[in-house]
Structure 1
Amino acid sequence: MPYWIGQDDKVKELVDEFNASQDEVTVNFTQLEWKDGRDKIKQAVAAGRGPDVWLMNNGLELDFLKAGSLASLDELGYTKNDTGKFLDLAKVNEYEGKLYGAPLYFDVSVLVYRTDILKKYGYDKPPATWDELKSVASAITEKSEADGDKVSGWQFKGMDDHVNAINSTWESFLCQAGGSLTSSDYATSTQNSPAGKAAMEYMKSFYTDKTSPVGTSALNGFIDGKVAMFSFFQSVIANVEAGGAKTKDKWAVAPMPKGPESGCSMVGGHSLVASSQSKDLKAAGTFMKWLASPERSAEYMDFKAIFPYDTAKVDSAVQATYDEKLQSDPNWEAIIEQLSRNSPDLVLQDRHGWATRWEAQKASVVAGVGGQVPVGEALKSIDEQVDRALSAEK
């Protein structure tokens, strides 16, 4: 899939560059679409005709891991020196003590805010806590409406035209409230908890008092100056920048406002994996090491992808490129701060019952936050559906 945001042809260019760089391995490239690419790969692998190497979400899919469909990185020629350069977050790709995915980059959820709107209403810095977020967003909504040009102070990404985004949004706020997706043994869904209720009631309050607009796109509203703040993966910066004159020099990024327990957020991004049935694991590993190398990952920072390596363990030339890119954009400071707040735990929980959970959350979180069903009922529905999926995994 075209993971280079905003440039669908870029991945093919990288593959062509790899093929031209040496004469031992030739990659035959197929580009799929995001809307159905992952399903096509899953069907092809199940039929025994899948690709040698493909893209997968960080955290990997449990079905592939349990079926033995993926080759471990050590089978692909990775050494401890190679894997020791990854950030600790790379543990999201571990299964039964082995790594099965080479991270291309990480994503973390951050706060994106309109500096021009906050300044207009008397705020010289973004909110740092849930309480501040609510008070600032409410004040902007009320004051702008009184001025005759209403701006919604906040919108939750996923309560709009991109419903799938509610999953990363919800899991970030659940984490900040101190909640978890599953029990420590991954056997039981644990969202219907005091932390779950606190997170969902907090999110719901933005709609109850009409601070957030029902059905308005967080991203499009932000670009048009009708939404002052929203949160999503930092890679959304590329979309904000595409707003051109509408957004130029009018916005910035901050770490997520801290909840009752922490300022953690959902972790995303993508990794490369290889088929355990590949006829040439060495060739697959050679290509993966190149495309997911520190050199290429430093390039991915151009679309605000988070470098997945410990910078103290990479070559000085790569480190210099990394430092140069960090200095070129002040938003990187907030992104790196948010990165430091996260652990692999939430992603490892999310792996279990993932497909069922993400469908259940899309329906129940939107309904609970939007007030169509009581919060407790929404959380209970998620747990009931995910529990059935977790039971089937045993």
Structure 2
Amino acid sequence: MASTRRLRLAAAALASALALTATACSSAEKPSEAGGKATIDFWSMPYWIGKDDKVKELVDEFNASQSKVTVNYTQLEWKDGRDKIKQALGAGTGPDVWLMNNGLELDYLKAGVLAPLDKLGYTKKDTDAFLPLSKVNEFDGKLYGAPLYFDVDVMLYRTDVLKQYGIKNPPKTWDELKDSAATITDKSGKKVHGWQFKGMDDHLNAINSTWESFLCQAGGSLTSADYTASTQNSEAGRTAMNYMRSFYDEGISPVGTSALNGFIDGKVAMFPFFQSVIANVKDGGAKTEGNWAVAPMPEGPKSGCSMVGGHSLVAQAASKHLDAAGTFMRWLASPERSAQYMDFYGIFPYDLAKVDPAVKKTVDANIAKDSNWNAIFTQLKRNTPDLLLQDRHAFSTRWEAQKAAVVAGVNGQKKVGDALGSIDEQVNQALEAEK
């Protein structure tokens, strides 16, 4: 009930923010931007993985290139940045432009807080250039988020460890994955574990993307087609959770061992996560250099799909400077800048056939110099917007419920049916509040 109450309060606060700011920004009071520089506020977490200062550098670069727009940048922390944005908007203030997860948040959309891209100077040609996955940012037929980059769950594997234990190729199916992982764990005397599900370790929030990927591969869904009912306690849900649980029941994987740190140290052979974790793996230096690679996710009973993530820019509908906000968004989320985000393995969010040839050349060169991009783009093609559009509904409740229930169901603290039923019960309360 607490989650449901929080959802209602958040929606009410955002609706209140819209009413307040809309009143303050009537057409009679709105200042002209033509006579001088428009100043806008941009709030963001440091989305450039491993280089917290890079976003500020980009904002500085934008400001130096402009004569009519100035951006004031506020860098927030990941632990509470989203909450600070929501609280500021609820108080009738907040930024003109900010960072939001791909898929966006339903309470912002329903409260009318976000400006559609066509009100920010985006043309149909602009939005048609986005990859089809940009549909994750649609609501009632309009796009509200400009994608900076996409993430997809992929499989990372230690080439040296697989070779040491006689495994020639990364596994392509659930059965092959379990067999390969068991071989490594057994032959190493459990000194190396063949597999770890990201999120069954020290990064608990990651269980959400891991779980939703395996649920999808089993043919499951998060909600009904009309988004009104949670559907995880299903045959597909039980298939996925029983499969994951078998790794711990059979001693193949260790609960609590860090997937990322274990992988860097060579004590975990394979794990799944968003491909942008590659930036962290590379930080392993000599421990990982030349000893790892990326593969598409092993296919489950129904498909090889996986969770989609990444980040977009959004703007406040009540901003006094929508034109300036759009100018900044089109620059920061442009093909030119998005090609730079490939440095931390953010997936280029544009159709290569619809961007400037110079940008295409840059992207092609990035792909050519790193064979891991082939696996990443193979995984990208397997995914649709469906899972993330479902996840938008009762998002915060679901992700909190899954962190507790999935871990408990997989490690044996709860029966599988009880764990899935617990998720459905909590999420259905939140879905009811959305109606």
Check whether TM > 0.5: yes
**1:141 maps to amino acid:** T
2:419 aligned to which of 364, 378, 388: 378
Structure 1 residue 342, shift from structure 2 partner: 0.3
- In the alignment, what sits opposite 1:189? 230
Within-5 A mapping of 1:241-252: 241-252=282-293
Structure 1 residue 366, shift from structure 2 partner: 0.2
- For 1:123 and 1:323, locate their aligned partners in 2 and report how far apart those are by CA, in whole Å: 31
2:202 aligned to which of 132, 137, 161: 161
The root-mean-square deviation of aligned C-alpha atoms, in Å, is 0.5
Structure 1 residue 174, shift from structure 2 partner: 0.1
Within-5 A mapping of 1:224-373: 224-373=265-414
- For 1:246 and 1:49, locate their aligned partners in 2 and report how far apart those are by CA, in whole Å: 47
Q: Does 1:38 align with 2:90?
A: no
- For 2:395 and 2:318, locate their aligned partners in 1 and report how far apart those are by CA, in whole Å: 25
- For 1:81 and 1:314, locate their aligned partners in 2 and report how far apart those are by CA, in whole Å: 11
Within-5 A mapping of 1:58-207: 58-145=102-189, 150-207=191-248
- For 1:364 and 1:332, locate their aligned partners in 2 and report how far apart those are by CA, in whole Å: 34
Give CA-to-partner distance per residue, 1:75-103, whole Å, 9 cap, x none.
11100000000000000000000000000
Give CA-to-partner distance per residue, 1:234-258, whole Å, 9 cap, x none.
0000000000000010000000000
Within-5 A mapping of 1:16-35: 16-35=60-79
5+ residue gaps, structure 1, are: none
- For 2:56 and 2:187, locate their aligned partners in 1 and report how far apart those are by CA, in whole Å: 49
Structure 1 residue 393, shift from structure 2 partner: 0.2
Larger radius of gyration: 2
Identity between Structure 1 and Structure 2 (%): 76
**2:406 maps to amino acid:** V
Give CA-to-partner distance per residue, 1:120-159, whole Å, 9 cap, x none.
11112100000000000001100010xxx71000001000
- In the alignment, what sits opposite 1:3? 47
Structure 1 residue 14, shift from structure 2 partner: 0.1
The count of aligned residue pairs is 391
SS at match of 1:185: coil
- For 1:45 and 1:214, locate their aligned partners in 2 and report how far apart those are by CA, in whole Å: 40
**2:331 maps to amino acid:** W
- For 1:15 and 1:124, locate their aligned partners in 2 and report how far apart those are by CA, in whole Å: 46
**1:140 maps to amino acid:** I
Structure 1 residue 178, shift from structure 2 partner: 0.2
Structure 1 residue 328, shift from structure 2 partner: 1.2
- For 1:90 and 1:390, locate their aligned partners in 2 and report how far apart those are by CA, in whole Å: 24
Structure 1 residue 185, shift from structure 2 partner: 0.1
